[in-house]
Amino acid sequence: MTKIKNSSSENNKVEEEKEYSILNLGPTHPATHGIFQNILKMDGEIIHEAEPTVGYIHRAFEKIAERRPYNQIRPLTDRLNYCSSPINNIGWDMTVEKLLGVKIPKKVDYMRVIIMELARIADHLICNSVIGVDTGAMTGFLYIFQWREKIYEIYESICGARLTTNIGRIGGFDKEWTKETWDKIHYFLEHYPKALQEFTNLLERNKIFMDRTINCGPISAEMALSYSFTGPNLRAAGVDYDVRVMNPYSSYQDFKFDVPIGQSGDTYDRFMVRQHEMWNSLEIIRQAIKNMPKDEPFKADVPDFFLPPKEEVYNNMEALIYHFKIIMGEMDIPKGEVYHCVEGGNGELGFYLVSDGGRTPFRLHFRRPCFIYYQAYPEMVKGIMLSDAIITMSSMNVIAGELDA
Partner 1 sequence: MELLEKIKTAITEKFPQAIENYEVSYDFPVFYIKKDEIHQVLEFLKTDTELNFHFLTDLTGIQSADEKQLGVIYHLHNMPKNYRVRLKTYFDINKPEIPTATDLWPGANWMERETYDFFGVKFKGHPKLKKILNVDEMDAFPLRKDFPLEDQTRDDKSDKMFGR
Binding site for partner 1 (CB under 8 A): 54-55, 58, 60, 62-64, 66-69, 98-99, 225-229, 239, 241, 246-247, 328-329, 336-339, 341, 348, 350, 352, 354, 356, 360, 362-363, 365, 367, 371-376, 404-405
CB of 67 to partner 1, least distance (A): 4
For partner 1, the closer of residues 292 and 354 by Cβ is 354
Cβ at position 331, least distance to partner 1 in Å: 14
- Report which secondary-structure segment, H or E, holds 204: none
Please count the residues of the chain: 405
Asked if 277 and 284 touch (Cβ cutoff 8 Å), the reply is no
Query: Residue 23, SS3?
Result: strand
In the complex, minimum distance from the CB of residue 120 to partner 1, in angstroms, rounded to a whole number:
21
For partner 1, give the closer residue by CB, 39 or 338: 338
Order of all β-strands in the sheet with 363-367: 336-344, 347-355, 363-367
Q: Could you give the residue ranges of the DSSP H alpha helices within 101-176?
A: 106-134, 138-159
CB of 305 to partner 1, least distance (A): 18
Angle among Cα 305, 306, 311 to the nearest 5 degrees reads 145
Amino acid (1-letter code) at residue 236: A
Nearest approach, Cβ of residue 298 and partner 1 (Å): 26
Residue 383: count of CB within 10 angstroms of its CB: 11
Nearer to partner 1, 100 or 122 (CB): 100
What are 236's strand-pairing partners? none
Q: How far is the CB of 314 from partner 1 (least distance, A)?
A: 24
CB-count exposure of residue 3 (10 Å: 0-12, 13-18, 19+): exposed
The amino acid at residue 277 is E
Q: In the complex, what is the shortest distance from the CB of residue 221 to partner 1, in angstroms, rounded to a whole number?
A: 11
Nearer to partner 1, 41 or 191 (CB): 41
Nearer to partner 1, 314 or 362 (CB): 362
For partner 1, the closer CB: 143 or 352:
352
- Closest separation between CB of residue 220 and partner 1, Å? 13
HEC string of 9-22 equals: HHHHCCCCCCCCEE
Query: CB-wise, 26 or 140, nearer to partner 1?
Result: 26
- If the CB atoms of residues 212 and 244 are measured against partner 1, the closer one turns out to be 244
Rg over CA atoms, the chain: 25
What is the C-alpha to C-alpha distance for residues 5 and 70, in angstroms, rounded to an integer? 82
CB atoms within 10 A of CB 204: 14
With beta carbons less than 8 A apart as the criterion, state whether 376 and 219 touch.
yes
